[in-house]
């Protein structure tokens, strides 16, 4: 298997779209050469713990109502093309995602990290759920095999906070300024929400290289 590090934020629409396009490529080729690890990136590292009103946030970020409308019009089109049922207008608040990132890190223990990330994407973009709320995170933790009481206790403290801050800092130092960012085998970077055709080509090339390596290995 080839390591694939996906640097993302569960409230990043392009991350959801990019992952959907990768999933479609895996389905089309019938091949998945990747061993995936999800890495932290906060779109809003200074977001208040309680989050902010979604409409006000978008208008601030994109220079007013018209800017927000244009940007999210493109996102809605890309989401539809990726086969996603994104209900962007149903999202009431933009949350702080640091605790969600802590849970994503802990999910690696169960081998269900990707399942958790997919769940957070769906909750936020399709159901308008605030994924910073404790009960939401605990329910998601239970669904992937983590113990609710243990996760609750961890969230009450500072477990892995410094490690995640360090990890995100390292990503920014290496030049990551936006997400999604896919790092293949620790050295090849695929930036942005690439389309399915691009991922099909990448997967076919990687799978061929893996097959050739296995044939050459005595």
Query: What mean pLDDT do residues 66-70 have?
Result: 92
**What whole-number distance in Å separates Cα of residue 34 and Cα of residue 26?**
10
Longest CA pairwise span in the chain (Å): 62
pLDDT interval class at 100 (50, 70, 90): very high
Query: What mean pLDDT do residues 132-157 have?
Result: 97
In this predicted structure, what is the pLDDT of residue 23?
Answer: 98
CA nearest 125: which of 8, 5, 17, 23? 17
In this predicted structure, what is the pLDDT of residue 216?
Answer: 60
For the chain, what is the mean pLDDT?
95
**What whole-number distance in Å separates Cα of residue 129 and Cα of residue 125?**
8
DSSP string covering 58-100, please?
Answer: HHHHTTSHHHHHHHHHHHHHHHHHTT----GGG--EEPP-HHH
What are 69-82's pLDDT values in tens digits?
Answer: 999 999 999 999 99
Query: What mean pLDDT do residues 9-37 have?
Result: 97
Query: What mean pLDDT do residues 52-78 have?
Result: 92
In this predicted structure, what is the pLDDT of residue 75?
Answer: 96
What are 206-217's pLDDT values in tens digits?
Answer: 998 877 766 565
In this predicted structure, what is the pLDDT of residue 210?
Answer: 77
């Amino acid at each position: 298997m080839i390591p694939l590090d996906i640097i993302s934020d569960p409230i990043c629409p392009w991350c959801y779209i990019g992952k959907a396009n990768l999933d479609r490529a895996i389905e089309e080729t019938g091949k998945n050469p990747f061993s995936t690890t999800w890495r932290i990136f906060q779109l809003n590292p200074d977001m208040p713990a309680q989050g902010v009103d979604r409409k006000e946030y978008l208008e601030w970020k994109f220079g007013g109502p018209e800017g927000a409308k244009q940007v999210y019009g493109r996102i809605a089109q890309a989401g539809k093309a990726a086969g996603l049922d994104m209900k962007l207008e149903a999202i009431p608040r933009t949350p702080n995602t640091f605790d969600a990132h802590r849970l994503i890190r802990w999910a690696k223990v169960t081998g269900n990290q990707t399942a958790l990330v997919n769940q957070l994407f769906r909750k936020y973009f399709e159901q308008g759920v605030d994924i910073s709320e404790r009960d939401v995170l605990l329910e998601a933790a239970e669904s992937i095999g983590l113990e609710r009481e243990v996760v609750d206790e961890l969230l009450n403290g500072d477990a892995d906070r410094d490690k995640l801050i360090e990890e995100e800092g390292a990503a920014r130092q290496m030049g990551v300024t936006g997400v999604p960012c896919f790092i293949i085998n620790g050295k090849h970077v695929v930036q942005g929400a690439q389309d399915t055709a691009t991922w099909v080509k990448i997967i076919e090339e990687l799978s061929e290289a893996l097959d050739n390596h296995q044939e050459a290995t005595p």
